[in-house]
Amino acid sequence: MHPTETDLLLVIDVQADFLPGGALAVPDGDAVIGPINALGRRFRHVVLTQDWHPAGHASFATSHPGRQPFETTTLDYGTQVLWPAHCVQGTPGAELSSKLDLPHAELILRKGYRAGIDSYSAFREADRTTPTGLAGYLRERGLTRVFLCGLATDYCV
């Protein structure tokens, strides 16, 4: 693999709450960090995403009395899985892993910060219409090819 000047590595949600011991841990999630660091050294352009929920986010089971994590509910944009509270703004669980070694990352794109809309994609919120701004960033910078890596492959990558 030989990334070019117009290639970007997009690192998705490598955060404490998705790592072993976190509120919504991916089994063996920390196993991706070494390969991401190695891959990141090959790219001139790196962007990180960060799940960044306000306390009481609509996707949290605790925001729906009597509901449990992993049940579903209906929000304005459709069916929503109710998650344990995770990646709450300003908490240790929301922090990017301290083991990530990508000092040349150009942008941290925070997503999921709208209290009533969840966010999985780095490009659009879960309502499928609200953009995150990443597409505009790529266009403005002339970046034409995106490589993805990170955690929660069944939802976010």
Q: Are 132 and 111 in contact (CB under 8 A)?
A: yes
Burial of 2 (0-12, 13-18, 19+ CB in 10 A): exposed
Per the structure block, which two tokens stand in for 51? Answer: 């799940």
- In 3D space, the residue among 143, 149, 152 whose CA is nearest the CA of residue 106 turns out to be 143
CA pair distance 92, 94, nearest whole angstrom:
5
User: Tell me, what DSSP letter sits at residue 146?
Assistant: E
Please name the residues in contact with 154: beta carbons below 8 A apart, sequence gap of 6 or more: none
Task: Report, as residue numbers or ranges, the catalytic residues.
Answer: 13, 111, 156
Q: Are 94 and 52 in contact (CB under 8 A)?
A: yes
